[in-house]
Copies of this chain bind each other. A is one copy, B any other.
Amino acid sequence: MSNQLTPVELRHQSRSGIFTDQTSGLCPGYTQANLVILPKSQAYDFLLFAQRNPKPCPILEVADAGSRQLRTFAQDVDLAKDFPKYRVYENGKMVSEPTDVADLWRDDLVSFLIGCSFSFEAALIAAGIEMRHITMHRNVPMYSTNIKAKSAGIFHGNYVVSMRPIPESQVVKAVTITERLPQVHGTPLQIGDPAAIGITDLDHPDFGDAVDIHPGEVPVFWACGVTPQQVVMQSKPEFVITHSPGHMLVTDVKDNQLADIL
């Protein structure tokens, strides 16, 4: 049923508490966004971290301090209610997983919307490239690496990457398609040599699920949006709100409009 909803209808259902589920596959074609909410005192460091590390941390939009509205990615929106589920952390520890954070809202909170790999996977699938984890009904495999992010203020850490097995004959196409989507992680970081970025065992990802790699396929690694979340958590900020994994904001912007918006 939800597949028939428009993005604004889905946001209304999340806002009223009717919809509290994952958003994977909903409103196909529309850009979904990750969320990090930080107090203004840490917003500069985080924005600078994103500027210095655009591949793992592609910022779609930053709301004004205290504002629960957006200007570009959605009109009728309430950032404190329109994600189906949130996670609230204090001093690096999750303290609750509510469907609404309006009662926790403060005038100094800054919301960062971050690009999500759903957008580039849609482009790859449209080009005839199989996403193995989707075929296998699994979460994409993600790995910690030895690639150091450029630090900014209190935020530092290593890149997390996601891996998709690609047939050798489609690797070039996978590069050129994702090159056109710098707003959602852009080109791969590594093709075919996991050890070169510090990954020792593809069968045991650090996050998500392992997937099969068939003969003639190459593991291709992209910067992953888990990087900024892990980096924020490692710095143990006093207060941070994120979306609950998989429970994204569905925006009014279509994936194929992304290149024109940013």
Listed in ascending order, the chain A residues whose CB lies under 8 Å from chain B are 40, 43-44, 47-48, 50-52, 54, 59, 61-62, 64, 71-72, 150, 152-153, 182, 262
Contact = CB atoms under 8 A, between A and B. Distances in A.
A160 to B, nearest CB: 20
A153 B63 CA distance: 11
A48 B62 contact: yes
Q: Which of A43, A47, A71, A72 has the most CB of B within 10 A?
A: A47
Contacts of A47: 44, 47-48, 51
Nearest to A150: B71
A61 B129 CA distance: 35
B62 A51 contact: yes
Q: Which of A50, A54, A262 has the most CB of B within 10 A?
A: A262
Nearest to A182: B182
Contacts of A182: 182
Q: Which of A44, A54, A61, A64 has the most CB of B within 10 A?
A: A44
A47 B47 CA distance: 8
15 contacts: A43-B44, A44-B44, A44-B47, A47-B47, A47-B48, A47-B51, A48-B62, A50-B51, A51-B59, A51-B62, A52-B61, A52-B62, A64-B152, A64-B153, A71-B150
Contacts of A150: 71-72
Contacts of A61: 52
A247 to B, nearest CB: 25
Contacts of A71: 150
